[in-house]
Structure 1
Amino acid sequence: MKRHEALNPLSHHHHHTLTQALELQRAGTEKSQKGYTELLRDLIGFWERDGNNHFRDEEEVLIPLYLEHADSIEMDLVKEILYQHAQIRSSIQHLREDRQTSYKEMNELGELLNNHVRLEERQLFPLIEQAVPEKYLYQANGRFHRDSHSGF
């Protein structure tokens, strides 16, 4: 999907999130090459290096920019995205605190991450690209954190 170049850093983050989501979705199955501890360690590392900062970029920069410039705000979509952010944070916190959780909880988090990224890429980002003037998208780009994998 062609994305405005100013949003490319967030789309790069999304790509890495989808990789993490797939690993979580496969956790505990024959398709997984990682054990529970390694999956958890990778998830926590991903979250601390990039995931939490990515959510902050969206909540503190991107969504307010959309709300400021959109003629007609898709409020249900914004609420759903913010709700999913809270769900994901809660799930990650639970997995961090309770080392006895099951693969099923990892699978559910993987599914949630996958669906969340798809929702943002397919619905939110196109709305933002339409509503926000290009110069403000470029200004926002300068405020996004840089991904630890790609440098974007």
Structure 2
Amino acid sequence: MFGGGAQASEQRAGAMIAYLRDIVLAPPTRFERGHAIFLNRESGFLGEAACGIGTMTTLAIRMRTLLGEALRRDAAGIILAHSHPSGHCRPSDCDIAATRRLHEIAQALEIRLVDHLIFTDDAVYSMRAGGLL
């Protein structure tokens, strides 16, 4: 996913997951929190941006703002992450619908939605690995 050998790639992916976990699970943990990482064509780090803080059960991500930031950075890829303070790591129907819509719009802009990760205190769910992207 991030270039280099398989072991180096796994280490980078693990470090990125740990980094995103720390961000989206930062206090106050009773609200859903979103964050995005922007990648270049070689999957290198270009930057990041908070995507907001929602309620206990929802997070409204403004796609226009998120994709505008990706375009401003000339990003080729986005990794999106958000927390589920409820402790349920599976995506909600709203999460799935919003992710699919973001994927379609990003694709039209030649930006790849690499993954959408959902974090709880003790788990992480990858929408890509789960077949939802």
Same-fold call, TM cutoff 0.5: no
Higher helix share: 1
Q: TM-score of the superposition, structure 2-length normalised?
A: 0.29
Q: TM-score of the superposition, structure 1-length normalised?
A: 0.26
Whose radius of gyration is greater, 1 or 2?
1
Higher strand share: 2
